Every structure is written in structure tokens, then in C-alpha cells.
Amino acid sequence: MIYWKGYLQYKETIKSFLSNRQWKKLRDGIFRNFFRLQSVKFRGKLIHCVLLSEIVNNDFDSMTFKVFNREIKFTRDTFHIITGLKCYSSSDIKGLHEKENRLLKVYFPGKDKVELGDLFNFITSHPHGTTASFVGSDDDAVKLATIYFVESILMGKLKNRNVSEQIMKIVDDDELCSSFNWGSLSYETLLKSLKSCLKPNENEKEKDKDKDKDSYTILGFPFAFCVWIMEVIPIFQEKQFVNFQEFEPTVTINKDAGGDERGEMDVHTEVQYESDFRDAHLDDETENVTDIGKG
């Protein structure tokens, strides 16, 4: 089984917490593409089949695969174009460690840290329009929702993991939040997870290291990886495994995103797709992993 612990109903959860004005501010902000997606799906078997075709190399910033005798490469450029997030700009976060974590102090008094599950419970226990509605400022409501989105969706954290104090401080600083390199943070988390998920754990016994893993968890935002797979492997268009609804504007991705054979192609920063495609066997090796990815 392949898992992703990000919460797929993040839009509904956040929208119920915010007023219409607050929701509009969040939806029109730096993460607008994610809040305009109709749905986000996790396709574990699809990811696993492609990972089995990895060509291992020393490139720490991308992954290369050989599928149907063609080499394709998943890169930082690809992630940027699909998500629309900044992946290269640098942000000055000097002195961030010394800053007070105001949001933690105000909304979680007495706590040195807060788990993602605590933040989820806070948001879901203060639905807008009820007697339990959030009583803080509009800005703070949007900031708490943003932190939940970043940790749950971009980072794919489990609810029992701590919310990053650094992320809380960055989001609380409007200027820093808008200029921060969110794309790199999410991409590097995803790439590290994809590169390591099939490898044996260091703490495993030697006799167990050669066994195939029967389950693992992907971190980061693997939806972007799935979109890339369905863009660069023609079978998904030829066999209509997936239907894309295209949005303007379109942008052109460079050759590194899909391999030299693919050349240039259109990729859309907002992709909406219907979940009517069936599991695809992308390599003969997948015959031995038919149980992985179900559920």
C-alpha cells in the first residue's frame, strides 16, 4: 500500500472556517492555483509503477525514469510550472529564529509546540457563522488557514507531526510569506521522499533489506508528480485514461521536464481532471506489485 497523509478535503475544511471575505483573500493569494482545483487525487499505484522504472544517478535535484524505452525527467522546472509556486527565488529569513511565534502564543497559549492535528481541531471547531466562530482578526484567520494548507498539502504531514515553528513565523510576516520559496520547500520534500521510499530503512535488519516493501508513505505534494506522469506519457492521452480540462494561460515547458524525445509541450498551471482512468501497468515489473496502491 502507498499512502499520502495530506488531507484531500482541505478546501472544504478551510472554507467552513473562513468568512466569504477571508476565503476570497486566501483564494486570490499566492496559493490560488490550489484553491481553484476542483479536486486533488492520490494515485498510489501509478506513482509506484513509475518509481520502479527509475534510472538511478547522481543528480540530487531531479529524477529520471525509463518508460516504454524513453527517458523522462521530473525536475524543479516541472514542479514550478504545474503548481505555479516559486522554486528559485531566495528569501531573507535571517533573524527568524529570534522572532516570537505570535500565532502560537495567541491561539495556543501555554504550548511550546502544536501538532497538525491540534491545528486541524482548532479550525474545525470554529466554523464560521456559528456561536463558535473564530473571533480573531481576518488576517489571523487567513494565516492559520494558510499554515494548515502548507503543512497538510504542500508538506503532506501526518496529523501527529509538529507544525513547523519556522513556517508559522514566515506566514505571520506578510512580506516574507509572499516572497518565500514555497515551491522549493515542497519540491525538495517530495523529491527526497520519492528517492528514498523504495530503499530499505537503515534500522531494518540485514535479512529484511532485500525484501520488497509492502507499504510506504509519500511526503510533499505528489499530485504534481501524477500530473507530470500523465503529461509526459502519451498513453494517457491516446487511451483516454484521464481527461484534462485546460485553463488559460498556458505556458511552454522546456525539454528537461519531459526528456529530449518529448520536446516542448503545453502544461497548465491549473489542471482539473476527472478520476475515470484505470490503473496502468507502465513496466513489466509491476506484475509483481498488483496489491500496492489499492485502497
Beta-bridge partners for 67: 70
Residue with cell 476565503: 23
In this structure, of 50-59, 244-253, 277-286, the range with the lowest mean pLDDT score is 277-286
Which of 231, 229, 220, 140 has the alpha carbon at shortest distance from 182? Answer: 220
Which residues is 74 bridged to in the sheet? Answer: 63
Cis check: omega of the bond before 249, within 30 degrees of 0: yes
Supply 45's cell numbers: 499505484
List, in sequence order, the alpha helices (H) in 150-222.
Answer: 165-172, 174-179, 182-196
Q: What pLDDT does 238 receive?
A: 59
3-state DSSP assignment of residue 102: helix
CA distance 51 to 197: 9
Flag whether pLDDT at 257 surpasses 90: no
Give residue 176's identity as a one-letter amino acid code: L
What's the pLDDT tens digit per position in 130-143?
Answer: 888 898 899 999 99
Domain ranges (residues) in the chain: 8-37+90-180
Whether 63 contacts 254, CB under 8 Å: no
Mean pLDDT of the region 156-167: 94
Region 172-196 average pLDDT: 93
Report residue 94's pLDDT band, with 50, 70 and 90 as the boundaries: confident
